[in-house]
Amino acid sequence: MNKPLPNSYRQGPDSQGRFGQFGGRFVAETLMPLILEVEQAYEAAKRDPSFDAEWRRLLTHYVGRPSPLWFAERLTAHLRANSAREDLGAKVYFKRDELNHTGAHKINAVLGQILLAKRMGKTRIIAETGAGQHGVATATVCALFDLPCTVFMGATDVERQQPNVFRMKLLGAEVMPVTSGAATLKDAMNEALRYWVANVEDTYYCIGTVAGPHPYPVMVRDFQSVIGEEAKQQMMAAEGRLPDSLVAAIGGGSNAMGLFYPFLDDADVRMYGVEAAGHGVETEQHAASLTKGRPGVLHGNRTYLLQDAHGQITEAHSISAGLDYPGVGPEHSWLHELGRVQYVSATDDEALAAFQLCSKLEGIIPALEPAHALAHVIRMAPQLPRDEIVLMNLCGRGDKDIFTVAKHLGVEM
């Protein structure tokens, strides 16, 4: 009874917040008591059926879950036409989290975290954001619950994600542009942590991915796992079996963990996390922490990081603001070292091509983040047997990206 399965990949983290050597709680003493408080509150909330019921009510009636499982028929046909043989070209499905209210998967975990913040009696919410999707989701839920909200966003991202900046302001949030470093997601997270240290009494920090100090990686994963749980049931209903491959983009890794986690112990399901290769992983301009980084400690956890020989963190680059981060959630580092998940990458150009192909073939304009996942599907599916199934997390829609994409395509708007 309750004995851990010897071969389960779903046991982590341990009581110290470790997935193998990864994870942990590397924060300054001022924050440590608060991190412990969040952990206790989360453990208590998990055991409280009314917490789960309220979260699920909001997912159904506010977010619009379950998100559909979509057989991408035209894309599948297109990739089959590009395959070398008659018997190649796997069937491609999308898990359509881009249809969620606010346009991405981020809101799944935001709702859970804001409900937790309320339980903890916190009266003010802060968040970091890259693409602005997590910022918009947080601002949205704060509007719903009448909580003041401050979103930290790198000045570079404020520039390239203007529509989301305006959305956050419309929703009543304060957007704080961060100018330190390269002024992107890493710097926004530094600044959010600094603000939190100074406002521990009343403030809850709503982290947007499976990173940060324990319990954030496990908590955000648990909330995002609704994606994989639904997908598993939907796939059984549609095909009577599990998919052969899962594919998801990796920024911090929350949409990927959410899809992968419920399948981790299904040995026949292969998994691919797609990092942003920017201008190419052989250049200095990419965000492929697992492909090119080394383990280190940043933002409260031990994980793979882009860093120089002396442990200084190097700047990431990606066309996608949501993937432009030099680290990755610790559970991914662990799954990478165990070899349970394959981590690959896609360049800016490959993502742009996938973005356009998806728009034309499926009538779905994807966000640039899942466009990276799609780029890998486009490479992979034509090589796979025709009777295989590939399930990709289409975790966000591309409205926020049309200006960026137009600029790259040389279109004046």
Q: Which stretch binds another protein (CB under 8 A): 24-32, 115-123, 124-132, 169-177?
A: 24-32
Angle at 202 between CA 198 and CA 204, to 5 degrees: 85
Are 203 and 125 in contact, with CB atoms under 8 Å apart?
yes
Report the partner that residue 335 touches, choosing among ligand PLP, another protein, none (CB closer than 5 to 8 A by kind): none
Nearest CB to ligand PLP, comparing residues 231 and 323? 323
Report the partner that residue 395 touches, choosing among another protein, ligand PLP, none (CB closer than 5 to 8 A by kind): ligand PLP
- Cα separation, 271 vs 256, in Å, equals 9
Nearest residue (beta carbon) to ligand PLP: 396
> Binding residue for ligand PLP (CB under 6 A) from 134, 186, 221, 299?
134
Of residues 298-317, those binding another protein (CB under 8 A): 298-300, 305, 307, 309-313
Smallest separation (angstroms) from another protein to the CB of 1: 30
Q: Which of 411, 374, 372, 366 lies closest to 391 in space, CA to CA?
A: 374
> Binding residue for ligand PLP (CB under 6 A) from 113, 138, 161, 254?
254
What's the DSSP call for residue 60? I
Report the partner that residue 148 touches, choosing among another protein, ligand PLP, none (CB closer than 5 to 8 A by kind): none
**Burial label, 409 (beta-carbon count in 10 A; 0-12, 13-18, 19+):** exposed
| Three-class SS of 243-304 | CCEEEEECCCCHHHHHHHHHHCCCCCCEEEEEEEEECCCCCCCCCCHHHHCEEEEECEEEEE
Are 34 and 203 in contact, with CB atoms under 8 Å apart?
no
> Binding residue for another protein (CB under 8 A) from 12, 19, 22, 24?
24
Residue type, 189: M
Of residues 368-387, those binding ligand PLP (CB under 6 A): 369-370
Residue 172 interacts with another protein (CB under 8 A): yes or no? no
| Bridge partners for 127 per DSSP | 151
Q: Which residues bind ligand PLP (CB under 6 A)?
A: 104, 130-131, 133-134, 209, 249-256, 322-323, 367, 369-370, 395-396
Q: Which residues bind another protein (CB under 8 A)?
A: 16, 24-34, 180-181, 186, 190, 193-194, 197-201, 294-300, 305, 307, 309-313
